[in-house]
Structures are given as C-alpha cells and as structure tokens.
Structure 1
Amino acid sequence: MAEAFKFELVSPERLLMSEDVAQVVVPASEGQFTMLRGHSPFMSTIRPGVIEVTREAGKIARIFVRGGFAEASPTSLTILAERAIPVEELRADVIAREIQDASEDVADAQTDEKRRLAQEKLDQLREVQAVLGNVGSAH
C-alpha cells in the first residue's frame, strides 16, 4: 500500500475532508493526475469532474467538484473547490440545473473567449452527467 499523505478538500460551504489518504485522482484542467506521497510540488486548476480518494483502508470516496484549485506538495494535497458534493449525495436534477446554467452562459457570452470557456464548462458537465448516470446504473 502506498504511504499516506495529508489530503484536504475545502468548498465555500464546508471542509469536506481532512485526513491521511493513500491516493487521490484529480480532474485537472490540463488532464487528470494521480497524487501519491512524494509528488513534486505544483498548483493546478481543476475542471468539473469526480475526484477519487483512496483512503488508507483501501475504501474509495468519490466527490463531484465544479472546478477550483489544487496545491500539491510531497506530503500533502489541498483542493479548494468552487463546489464539492459527495457523489452519493448528487442528484440528477442538480447536474441538470448546472447544465442549464452553463447553457445559458454559452448563449449569453459576449466574446468568443467567454463563449469558448462557457462551452468547455458545459461539455465537462455533460461528461460528469454521463459518468454519474453510469455510476447510478451500476448500483
């Protein structure tokens, strides 16, 4: 088993996790990364997606995040999420509402750059909706 490191997941509403974990898989803006103890220090933005946390006992926690920032060091990972909800608490209507909001952002965008960013967010949310649909049907 991998050596544990400190993981904290914080959203504006609450501290969701603060514990020693074995591994965290993060949907970063430049691509997914896996954090293990001893990782090189870096910072990254996070795209909407599901974080998978492998606890020391081997149990996996899945948390939907709607973007934010990750800061890694050799002994810790801190994620400041715009929004974070454990997958088991997520409802299809919440994701549908997020998709509706993102669709409106695309339609209301005043510049090509804002439209591109809003479309990226919409596409990522649709990916999450598809993943969560598959998770729901697996139970």
Structure 2
Amino acid sequence: MADFHFELVSPERLVFSGEVQSVVVPGSEGQFTVLKDHAPLMSTLKPGVVDILESPSRTLRFFVRGGFADVAPTGLTILAERAVPLEEFDAAQIAADIEDAEDEVARAKTDEGRRLAAEKRDQLIEVKGTLKI
C-alpha cells in the first residue's frame, strides 16, 4: 500500500507528522478513510477518534474534538481544536466537556444556537459510549 503525508495539528503543537498508509477521520457528515491519491476534500470534524495506519503493524489513535480536515494533492492535514493520544485520554475531561456542552444548550439564546449546542453535546455523548468510558 502506498504512503502519503499526514499532519495532525492542535493549537498547542504539531501532534503528528509523517508518511502513513491510511487515516480514518470522524467527519461531521460521517467517518471517511483517506488513502493515497484521495480526491480533494474539506470537512469539518465531530468529536471522535482518528485512526492512523502508519504501517501494517503500527496504528496510532487520537481523540479529536472539532476542527477541519483538508485532503489535498500533497496529503491530509487535520487542524483539531484538541487532539489527545487515546492512551492519554481522560474520561473526566470528556465528562467535563459534556457538562460544558449542556451549559451551552441552557445558555443558547436562539433555536439555532440551541440546536448546535445540543448537537455538540450529543456527539460527545456518542464518543463517550464508543470509547466505553
């Protein structure tokens, strides 16, 4: 399987940069897999897990919370609001994120604001269930 360049960037740092075989991305419209020579695409992210297949024997997993994925001829770049290696993932943090999202729902002043905040909360609850934490 051919490799392509992938970068995972958070506001604090470059989390990952290297040649990979595939990346599974939690797009806001559903998960998608990027392989070498993928068609150009830009997507927003929902909270979820990015699976990086570096080689047949090495897979890396990161929890991401929001952001953008950009597939270009040069490779894939994910700009994440937050990116944490799954082995360092803190269950208390996702519980706090869910609580913050519930507060956003309660504070929303418009129907659209309430809908967006509820969608964010529901995505976080889905991630919590997926990770079984």
TM bucket normalised to smaller? over 0.9
* Distance in 2 separating the partners of 1:45 and 1:82: 11
Runs of 4 or more above 2 Å deviation: none
1:1-139 matches, cutoff 5 A: 2-133=1-132
1-structure distance, mates of 2:57, 2:4? 14
Q: In 2, are the aligned partners of 1:4 and 1:22 still within 8 Å (CA)? A: yes
**Structure 1, unpaired ranges of 5+:** none
Percent identical pairs in the alignment equals 57
Give the secondary-structure state (helix, strand or coil) at the position aligned to 1:39.
coil
Deviations 1:12-38 (A, max 9, x none): 011110010000000111111100001
Q: Normalization by structure 1: what TM-score? A: 0.92
Paired residues, number: 133
Q: Retained in 2: the 8 A contact 1:4–1:56?
A: no
Q: Distance in 1 between matches of 2:49 and 2:117?
A: 19
Q: CA deviation at 1:59?
A: 1.3
- Between the aligned partners of 1:51 and 1:95, the Cα distance in structure 2 is 16
Task: Give the distance between the partners of 2:30 and 2:100, measured in 1 at CA.
Answer: 24
Runs of 5+ unmatched residues, structure 2: none
Q: What residue identity is the alignment partner of 1:101?
A: D
Q: What letter is aligned with 1:21? A: V
What is the identity, as a one-letter code, of the residue corresponding to 1:131?
T
